[in-house]
Amino acid sequence: MSRLLEVNNLKQYFRVGGSIFRPKYVKAVDDVTFHIDKGETLGLVGESGCGKTTTGRTILRLHEPTDGQIIYDGTDITKVDMMPYRRRMQIVFQDPYASLNPRMTVGDIVGEAIDIHKLASDKHERKERIYTMLERVGLNSEHANRYPHEFSGGQRQRIGIARALAVDPEFIVCDEPISALDVSIQAQVVNMFEELQQDLGLTYLFIAHDLNVVKHISNRIGVMYLGKLVELADSYELTFHNLHPYTKSLISAIPIPDPVESRTKKRIVLEGDVPSPLDPPTGCRFRTRCPYATEICAEQEPEFREISKGHHVACHHVEKIN
């Protein structure tokens, strides 16, 4: 498979005060490296505030990266004009309430990108294209003249997806696209993402904090903690042969439908709270909550290394733990 996206040593630091001589930064994304192949879904999980969303937005250059390299389809797009790439790379936002303009009709919301990229030769073609997009996400042409407030949360998210699809993208960042929806609607939207991927050959970066959903939709999964990627592996491998203590804790929290099996299952509950991203721990960032931490964890940052084919992990004690 050919690579569509490659991210090398990506850093995103936000300045949050301090003096001119000693500025303070939040290291939202710190030295993250991964790639996504064409037609693949890479899931990105971790608790709130770990830098998942910032990673997705920085790849699209909605935030300018502090450092690192973003290579899209063989071209380094870290510093180029993004306009030609806006058509090829799209995003579906987390909150369908906040990401749609309440003063625009659904037709205009979906049609806006068609106008910007001049994808329709006349009004008739524009209208047809908008209707096609709405039908593709399970809405119909009558919805085009309504406003966002007239729709349910699930329908609004579908409008957001139709807007992203309107320009025929190849790559979509799905930024927690189902976390604001009812559980009953979540499955429908996830299934729709999978169908669209098969029909249109899309590539996804699927960001979520629900590992159960990510496990279902992703080919590979990356686990983030405080701005760092701590483990990256094939979806099955990560679920059943995880190596990092943080991943083990996340996996142990997934509910099991079988009550008998559920009773015998052991939850790995982490000690303490997530440290402040303003002042992360030295060495390994997870060490303050890790049951296996030793002196080396405080002194040295673990290298993000490949343990077996395609399975990367950042931990000093991988061999000892597993």
Q: Which residues pair with 91 in a beta bridge?
A: 173
DSSP at 301: P
Q: What does the buried/exposed string (b/e) look like for 219-258 if buried means 16 or more CB atoms within 10 Å of the residue's CB?
A: bbbbbbbbbbbbbbbbbebbbeebbbbbbbbbbeeeeeee
pLDDT for residue 215 is more than 80: yes
Going by pLDDT thresholds of 50, 70 and 90, the confidence category of residue 284 is: very high
Question: Are the beta carbons of 313 and 224 closer than 8 angstroms?
Answer: no
**Would you state the pLDDT for residue 182?**
87
Q: Work out the average pLDDT over 104-133.
A: 94
Whole-angstrom distance, CA of residue 287 vs CA of residue 138? 46
162-200 pLDDT, tens digit each: 999 999 999 999 999 998 888 888 889 999 999 999 999
Contact 99, 157 (CB under 8 A): no
The tokens of 7 are what?
Answer: 């991210």
Average model confidence (pLDDT) for the chain? 93
What is the tens place of the pLDDT at every residue in 65-96? 999 999 999 999 999 999 999 999 999 999 88
| Low-confidence winner among 204-213, 254-263, 311-320 (lowest mean pLDDT) | 254-263
What domains, with CATH codes, occur in the chain?
3-39+49-81+216-321 (3.40.50.300)
For residues 76 and 115, the answer to whether their CB atoms sit within 8 Å is no
pLDDT at 261 over 80: no
- Looking only at the bridges linking them, the beta strands covering 75-76 and 228-234 are unpaired
Predicted local confidence at residue 181, as pLDDT: 87
Radius of gyration of the chain (CA): 21
H/E element, 239: helix 235-240
| Residue 96, pLDDT score | 84
Residues 120-139: b if buried by 16+ CB within 10 A, e if exposed: beeeeebbebbbebbebbeb
Contacts of 211 (CB under 8 A, 6+ apart): 45, 221, 250, 251, 253, 254
Per-residue confidence (pLDDT) for residue 69, from 0 to 100:
96
Distance CA 70, CA 231 (A): 20
**282 pLDDT band (50/70/90 cuts)?**
very high
* CA neighbor of 158 nearest in space, from 197, 188, 128, 179: 188
**Residue 301 near residue 283 (C-beta atoms within 8 A):** yes
**DSSP H helical ranges for 117-234:** 123-136, 153-165, 183-200, 211-217
Q: How confident is the model at residue 278 (pLDDT cuts 50, 70, 90)?
A: confident
Q: Which two tokens stand for residue 214?
A: 């990510």
CA-to-CA distance for 96 and 226, rounded, in angstroms? 26
Per-residue pLDDT at 1 exceeds 80: no
Can you tell me the mean pLDDT for 119-132? 94
CA 289 to chain centre: 24
Residue for token pair 């049951």: 291
pLDDT at 124: 95
Whether the per-residue pLDDT at 125 is higher than 80: the answer is yes
Token pair 């807007």 in the structure block, residue: 163
Q: Please, which pLDDT band fits residue 271 given cuts at 50, 70 and 90?
A: confident
